Amino acid sequence: MRVIKPLLLLTALVGLPFMGHAAPFTGQLKFTSKAPKEDIFGTAEGKADLKATPTDLTTLTGTITVPVSTMKTGNEMRDQHLLSPTWLDGAQFPNITYTVKSVVVGSTADKGKYTEAQVKVTGDFTLHGVTKEVVAPATLKIKPDGKTKITTEFNIALGDFKVEGKAGVVGDKVGSTIACEATLVGSLQ
């Protein structure tokens, strides 16, 4: 049986840095497991309940949540394994979360129809009942009306979160590190 335990996400969220003021952010997270015997690709849905002053992104606070039950790999049996106690244990740990602790703005640029900001977000990423600090880069595209698109990419090591899987599967059929990407959209006003 093939088992996957790619998380994220996104990491979503994905350790994912995002912001919101008046409207929650929603989005899709993608995760990729690369291993010698198989590459596995998956998606998950996430939401972010975050706040920030649009003109000062260092004020960003809040949490991104990815329900483990939304993680899909295109293989129903693998998805069931992903939720099992051997992998992410969706019954005991139903959500993957990222709580923003701080934001450093690297650069901002006026792109005409929107302002683009490159930031590094530090936060607490919780997966499988284990919390670790994760720093993730993010790009924010903010329109004058407050509509915002946030994208990020980062990696998660399964061992850091005590995700062991079935004996011999991690590192062979499932990568020991999962690549995560997230895109969230929402409004700051």
How many domains in the chain?
Answer: 1
Longest dimension (CA), the chain: 53
Which CATH number fits the domain that encloses residue 63? 2.40.128.110
pTM of the model: 0.83
The answer as to whether 135 is a domain residue is yes
The answer as to whether 172 is a domain residue is yes
93 φ, ψ (degrees, to nearest 5): -130, 75
CA 113 to chain CA centroid, nearest Å: 27
The answer as to whether 42 is a domain residue is yes
The answer as to whether 6 is a domain residue is no
Domain interval for residue 149: 11-187
- Region for 159 from its dihedrals, namely left if φ exceeds 0, alpha if ψ lies in -120 to 50, beta otherwise: alpha
The answer as to whether 4 is a domain residue is no
Q: What is the pLDDT of residue 153?
A: 95
Token representation of residue 33: 């497991």
Distance (Å, rounded) from C-alpha 57 to C-alpha 52? 6
Give the pLDDT means over successive 10-residue stretches in the chain (189 positions).
33 35 79 86 91 85 93 94 91 96 96 96 96 96 89 93 79 81 84
The answer as to whether 32 is a domain residue is yes
The answer as to whether 62 is a domain residue is yes
The answer as to whether 5 is a domain residue is no
Asked if residue 63 lies in contact with residue 48, where contact means CB atoms within 8 angstroms, the answer is yes
For 14-43, the pLDDT digits (tens) are 333 333 344 689 999 999 988 878 888 999
Token representation of residue 13: 């969220």
Token representation of residue 125: 């990423």
Q: What is the pLDDT of residue 11?
A: 32
